[in-house]
Amino acid sequence: MSPPTAAPPAPQPDTPSPLARAGSRVASARMPTYAITGLLVVTVAATAMLQSGFFTAYGLSSTFATILPLATIAVAQTIIVLSGGIDLSIGTIVTLSSAVTVVLMEGDNARLPLAIAAGVAAGAACGLVNGLIVAVLRLQPIVATFATSFMFGGAALLVLPSPGGSASPVLTETYRMVLALIIPVPALLLLILWLVWRILRAHRVGQYLYAVGGSAAASYTSAVPVTRVRVLAYTLGGTVAALAGVALLADSGSGDPFIGNELTLGSIAALVIGGTRLRGGAGGAGGAILGAIVLSLIQGLVFFAGIPTDARELVYGGIMIAAIALAGLLTAGGPRQPGRTA
Amino acid sequence: MGSIPQRRSRNWRSLAALAAGGVLITATACSTPEAGGGGEDGGKEGPFTIGVSNGFIGSEWREQMLATLQKDFDEYKSDGVVDELVVESADVDVNGQIKQIRNLIKSDVDAIIVNPNSPTALDKVFGEAADQGIKIVAIDQAVESKDVTNVVIDQGEWASISAEWLAEEVGDGGEIIAVNGIDGHPANEARWEGAKKVFDDAGVKVAANDYGNWDQATGQQVTKDLLASHPDVDGIFVQDGMALGAFQALESEKKVGDIAITGEARVGFMKRWQEQREGDGDFTSIGVPNPPSVSVSALHVVVRMLEGKKFGDSLEGNSVYLPIPETVTDENFDEQFDAVKDEPDTYAVDHSVTAKEADDYFQ
């Protein structure tokens, strides 16, 4: 199957202009990168056509405000999946973190930093629990995190028994700000998240994640601290999931003891569409972010295309299958390197 | 398939052209072609586009709510008052409902009728809608946002009616079990607060309280379990949408007539009630209607808000409380049952304010 994007401009060796360098990077990218980029272009174009106000300040800021929580949780899941694990409790970690944050914040700007720190710490602690259970006790990740999802979801209900509490005005207002007329704050946060991921990937810890996910046995013989890397992956994932919880809080402005629970499967769908291998060792958070954007836009498209409300879920599910199949086909046809994508 | 936004923008373009040509005589100053460009206080030009956000589709009640709304909307439409009803209805969590409302905002609706999944977590997105000049009406359960007008029945009062009946049946010192809706759900909390107060005041002991998610099958299972652990209770307090299930559980334990049970004003339950009346004169029950056509009442209200009318003293805080329809009792049963017996079992006894009654809410 040929890549859906147009052929990149030929690199010019003598004068490596930024454009040419970008071109050569596109050329060296793995097939899933083409797939997800193609999907992104198609969905953005379709959305812009069907939704008249898409490129207005409100259109962009509301779109990114919706995307950021899903994209963040998809990045969290990607870190765990890359290391060879999976986390079915990740949605409840999001819920618990946002519950802790909102309860401590009490709508007070002065308490914002401490409340967010506590929420993130709660997420990291949940991740650590998952990591210890999976890597040290060696329980099956799917079953173990399914079980811990009830623990974390239950803890969220103890912290915040019924919907309520309010986020501080600074948090909710900043989240809705649009900089330089067209750059919504959530889009900027998404960019920062991706940059932090790039730094992690370049770091030794990032290399270890791929190594352990690719082959735990080979990593072990190469003196990679496999158990510690796995625990770290879950802890990092929990920490990033907590940030998704804060984003949800900023978006809704109020606490809810179930707010993140349904995001778990969405996070897995986003990373698969983004070209991450569910067995671990290949893929990346950049793809997961694009996958989350595509998923979110498709959901909007189904509405704006005028499909009757009762048929929307069916159509959405069908398109999602097509997107996953496309990503899967192109991944299978790609070069056999245990490599990475953006 | 024609897309909604395209049709909308065509409408607006033609409207703008008409206005520019001076053909359309504008009564008010604002006729900007941008959606939601209406003034905060003045009325807007029709026809209006109304959006609907419903975040729970697992019940027949919600289907009836949407179906009756569509029917009355079509009447307004033939009068040229409104042009399109954009419906967002799916099982969603709070995030999903935020998305629904954002989609409606982006479809240039003039007003949104919402059955909210949360009393607080939609406040910010309601604010986004209000910023665009969109009127918002919450039905079925109240929200706190000042950008929203609630058009609801008083859920606490609703529950206290059947609670008072049950307290009378079991008497001072009686023991009951309670089958409530969804734990933490705002309507459920308001109802149980109202009912619990009645029981406390009447000296009725609540032996156990569990949740049947407003679902007949779940309600039946929960009632069965509660009866197994508390076989000696005198009564069952059960919310609507589960009373038929609870009754069936009571039946399978062969305790119909021994244990008093609150009923519901829905055809399925009323059929069983009728059978009991024919067989055993002792059976007694009560059904307080919770009208799905609150959506229709809300439509009447929101159209008047869009026309720029001001509320009179009908507004308490940010809520308009609708009258609770006449309770179905042993005394008026025959008459009430006759009116609805040809409807499907899932049909809920219904009521909405008329357009004229809605006028009375305004100055």
Q: What is the residue-level pLDDT of chain A in tens, covering all 342 positions?
A: 444 444 444 444 455 566 666 555 544 445 567 788 888 999 999 999 988 888 888 889 999 999 999 999 999 999 999 999 999 999 999 999 999 999 999 888 999 999 999 999 999 999 999 999 999 999 999 999 999 999 999 999 999 987 888 889 999 999 998 888 789 999 999 999 999 999 999 999 999 999 998 888 888 888 889 999 999 999 999 999 999 999 999 999 888 888 888 899 999 999 988 888 888 888 899 999 999 999 999 988 988 888 888 888 899 899 888 888 877 776 654 444 444 444
Q: Give the mutation candidate from A67, A103, A309 for the B interface (greatest B CB count, under 10 A).
A: A309
Q: How far apart are CA A123 and CA A152, in angstroms?
A: 10
Q: What is the CATH number of domain A32-333?
A: 1.10.3470
The pLDDT, as a whole number, for residue B19 is 41
Q: Are residues B32 and B90 in the same domain?
A: yes
Give a yes or no: residue B143 inside a domain.
yes
- To the nearest whole angstrom, how far is the Cα of B9 from the nearest Cα of chain A? 8
Hey, is B272 helix, strand or coil? helix
Looking at the structure, tell me whether residues B149 and B297 fall in a common domain.
yes
Could you tell me if residue B353 is inside a domain?
no
Helices assigned H by DSSP within A169-311? 169-175, 185-202, 204-214, 216-221, 226-252, 263-273, 285-304
B103 within domain boundaries: yes
Question: Is residue B8 assigned to a domain?
Answer: yes
Same domain (yes/no): B94, B213:
no
- Note which residues in 9-68 of chain A have CB less than 8 A from chain B: 50-54, 58-59, 62, 66
Q: What is the pLDDT of residue B12?
A: 47
Q: Write down the pLDDT at residue A80.
A: 96
Contact A62 B128 (CB under 8 A): yes
Does residue B102 sit in the same domain as residue B186?
no
B233 with B256, same domain: the answer is: yes
Domain residue limits at B275: 155-279
Residue A311 is classified by DSSP as: G
- Is B209 in the same domain as B113? no
Same domain, B267 and B255: yes
User: Is the Cβ pair A248, B95 closer than 8 Å?
Assistant: yes
B11 shares its domain with B88: yes
Instruction: Annotate B278-337 with DSSP letters as a single string.
Output: HH-TT----B----TTHHHHHHHHHHHHHTT--B-TTEETTEEEPPPPPPB-TTTHHHHH
Neighbours of B72 (CB within 10 A): 17
- In this prediction, residue B102 carries a pLDDT of 94
Of A252-261, B21-30, B73-82, B123-132, least confident by mean pLDDT is B21-30
Tally C-beta pairs within 8 A across A and B. 112
Q: Do A256 and B121 touch (CB under 8 A)?
A: yes
User: What pLDDT is recorded for position B281?
Assistant: 65
Regarding whether B149 and B8 lie in a shared domain, the answer is yes
Look at chain B and report how many structural domains it folds into: 2
Q: CB-hemisphere CA count at 13 Å for A244?
A: 38
**Residue B50's beta-bridge partner residues?**
B85, B111
Provide ipTM, 2 decimals.
0.80
- Predicted confidence at residue B3, as pLDDT, reads 37
Cα separation of A107 and A84, whole Å? 39
Chain segment B7-66, per-residue pLDDT in tens: 444 444 444 444 444 333 333 333 323 333 344 455 677 799 999 999 888 778 889 999
pTM of the model: 0.80
Q: Is position B351 within any domain? A: no
In a domain, B309, yes or no: yes
Domain assignment present for B173: yes
When mean pLDDT is compared across B33-47, B136-150, B173-187, the lowest value belongs to B33-47
Give the mean model confidence (pLDDT) for residues B201-222: 92
- Reported as a single tens digit per residue, the pLDDT across B218-276 is 999 999 999 999 999 999 999 988 999 999 999 898 888 889 999 999 999 999 999 88
Residue B336 inside a domain? The answer is no
Single-letter residue type at B335:
E
pLDDT > 70: percent of chain B: 87
Q: Where does residue A178 fall: left (phi above 0), alpha (psi -120 to 50 degrees), or beta otherwise?
A: beta
Task: Say whether both B25 and B142 belong to one domain.
Answer: yes
**Running DSSP on this structure, what letter comes out for residue A69?**
H
Inter-chain touch A172–B120, beta carbons under 8 Å: no
CATH of the domain at B226: 3.40.50.2300
DSSP SS3 for A274: coil
Say whether A162 and B184 touch across the interface (CB within 8 A).
yes
Instruction: Tell me, yes or no, whether B130 and B167 share the same domain.
Output: no
B146 and B160, same domain (yes or no): no
* pLDDT, tens digit (0-9, with 9 covering 90-100), for B153-164: 999 999 999 999
Indicate the domain borders of chain A.
32-333
Q: Determine which of A303, A307, A310, A312 to mutate to test the interface with B (most B C-beta atoms within 10 Å).
A: A303
Looking at the complex, does the CB of residue B36 fall below 8 Å from at least one CB of chain A? no
Per the CB < 8 A criterion, the answer to whether B307 and B42 are in contact is no
* Residue B347: DSSP 8-state: P
